[in-house]
C-alpha cells in the first residue's frame, strides 16, 4: 500500500512538472509568435492604394516610416512628399489629400475648414515638445516660461535681465501659419501678444531659423524656437544648445513622462465624413495601433499610446 501511494505521488509530481513546463513552453511560443508578427506585420496597403498623404516638414520621416511599414516596402523605395503645415491643411480641405500629419490647426486653418463646410477629425499620433535654443556660447542654460513670454512680447530686451551678459536679445520668429509659429502662439504665449518682429528676424523655414542662430559665432544674443524632433533628429547643429525651461531639460524621457511640459503632438487629421471603412480611416487606426506606435518609436518619435 505504501509503495502504491509512493508511485501515485511520483506520478502527480511528474504531471505537475509537465503542466508547468507546458505552460512555460506555450507562453514562450505565443510570445515569440506575437513578437515575430509584430516585427513583420503583414502589409495592409499596396503602393497603389495607399492613401494620399501630406504634412509638415517635421513629420516627413514619420510618414515615410509608416508607408514603408504598412506597404511592406523598404524605406529606400518609399516616395513621400510634404507641402508643409499650412498647405497640407489646404490640400486636405480641398480633398487633394486623404490624411495629413501636422501640428494642431491655427485659427485661420480652422476657419478655412469651417468656410469650406469641412469638419476635421484630429487625432494625436506621437508626442512632441516645443523647445528653445541659443548659440552654444550663450551663458544662459535655462529660462522660465514667464521670461520667454517677456522676451517675445518685448518686455525683456537684454540678456542681462534674465541673468545673461549685457547684450540685446535677437528673438527670431517664424511666419504666420507655420507649424512652429502656431505652436509658439498657443503653447507658449497663451494669449500674450508677440512683439512685431524685425524683418530680418523672421525665418522662412525651420532650417533658416536654426542657421541664423548657429551662424552667429561672435554673437551670443540670438534665440529661436522649434520642435524637439526636428532640432534633434532632422537638423542637429553643433553650434546651438537647447534651453531648459523652468529647470527641466527637453529630453526624450522628460517629454515621454510629461516632466518637460511645453508639450503638444503631431496629429493625424482626416475629414470627419470619411466612411468607417475608408482607406484614410484605416490608415489612421493603423498609426495609433500598438504596431503603428512601435514604428513611430523606431523612427525616433515619442510614442503617444
Q: What is the 3-state secondary structure (H, E, C) of 80-91?
A: CCCCCHHHHHHH
Distance in angstroms (rounded) separating the CA atoms of residues 146 and 134:
17
pLDDT at 215: 34
CA-wise closest residue to 103 among 289, 229, 278: 229
| pLDDT tens, residue by residue, 214-254 | 333 336 799 999 999 988 887 667 789 999 999 999 999 99
For domain 53-127+266-303, give its CATH number from 3.40.190.10, 3.40.50.150, 3.40.50.300, 1.10.10.10.
3.40.190.10
Give the 3-state secondary structure percentages of the chain, helix then strand then coil, rounded to 5: 45, 20, 35
pLDDT at 33: 34
CA-wise closest residue to 304 among 269, 248, 234, 257: 257
Instruction: Work out the angle at residue 62's Cα, subtended by the Cα atoms of residues 56 and 64, and round it to the nearest 5 degrees.
Output: 100
Distances (CA, A) of 148 to 140, 145, 162, 172, 293: 12, 5, 10, 12, 33
Supply the DSSP string of 154-179, one letter for each residue. TS--BGGGGTS-S-B-EE-B--TTSH
What are the residue ranges in the chain where pLDDT is below 70?
A: 1-40, 198-219, 235-236
Is 128-257 in the same CATH topology as 53-127+266-303? yes
pLDDT at 42: 87
CATH 3.40.190.10 fits 128-257, yes or no: yes
The domain segmentation of the chain, as residue ranges, is: 53-127+266-303, 128-257
Amino acid at each position: 500500500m505504501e509503495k502504491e501511494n509512493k508511485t501515485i505521488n511520483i506520478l502527480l509530481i511528474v504531471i505537475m512538472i509537465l503542466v508547468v513546463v507546458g505552460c512555460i513552453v506555450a507562453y514562450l511560443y505565443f510570445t515569440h509568435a506575437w513578437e515575430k508578427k509584430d516585427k513583420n506585420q503583414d502589409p495592409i496597403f499596396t503602393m497603389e492604394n495607399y492613401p494620399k498623404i501630406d504634412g509638415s516638414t517635421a513629420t516627413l520621416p514619420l510618414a515615410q516610416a509608416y508607408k514603408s511599414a504598412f506597404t511592406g516596402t523598404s524605406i529606400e523605395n518609399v516616395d513621400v512628399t510634404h507641402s508643409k503645415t499650412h498647405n497640407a491643411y489646404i490640400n486636405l480641405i480641398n480633398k487633394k489629400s486623404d490624411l495629413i500629419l501636422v501640428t494642431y490647426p491655427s485659427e485661420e486653418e480652422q476657419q478655412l475648414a469651417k468656410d469650406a463646410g469641412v469638419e476635421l477629425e484630429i487625432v494625436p499620433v506621437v508626442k512632441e515638445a516645443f523647445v528653445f535654443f541659443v548659440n552654444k556660447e550663450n551663458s544662459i542654460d535655462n529660462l522660465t516660461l514667464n521670461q520667454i513670454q517677456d522676451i517675445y512680447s518685448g518686455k525683456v530686451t537684454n540678456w542681462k535681465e534674465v541673468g545673461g551678459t549685457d547684450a540685446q536679445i535677437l528673438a527670431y520668429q517664424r511666419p504666420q501659419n507655420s507649424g512652429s509659429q502656431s505652436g509658439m502662439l498657443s503653447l507658449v504665449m497663451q494669449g500674450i501678444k508677440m512683439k512685431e518682429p524685425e524683418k530680418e528676424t523672421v525665418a522662412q523655414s525651420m532650417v533658416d531659423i536654426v542657421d541664423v542662430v548657429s551662424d552667429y559665432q561672435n554673437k551670443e544674443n540670438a534665440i529661436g524656437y522649434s520642435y524637439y524632433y526636428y532640432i534633434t533628429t532632422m537638423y542637429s547643429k553643433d553650434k546651438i544648445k537647447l534651453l531648459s525651461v523652468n529647470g527641466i531639460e527637453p529630453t526624450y524621457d522628460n517629454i515621454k513622462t510629461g516632466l518637460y511640459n511645453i508639450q503638444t503632438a503631431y496629429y493625424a487629421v482626416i475629414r470627419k465624413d470619411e466612411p468607417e471603412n475608408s482607406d484614410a480611416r484605416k490608415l489612421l487606426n493603423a498609426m495609433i495601433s500598438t504596431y503603428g506606435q512601435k514604428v513611430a518609436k523606431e523612427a525616433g518619435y515619442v510614442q503617444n499610446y
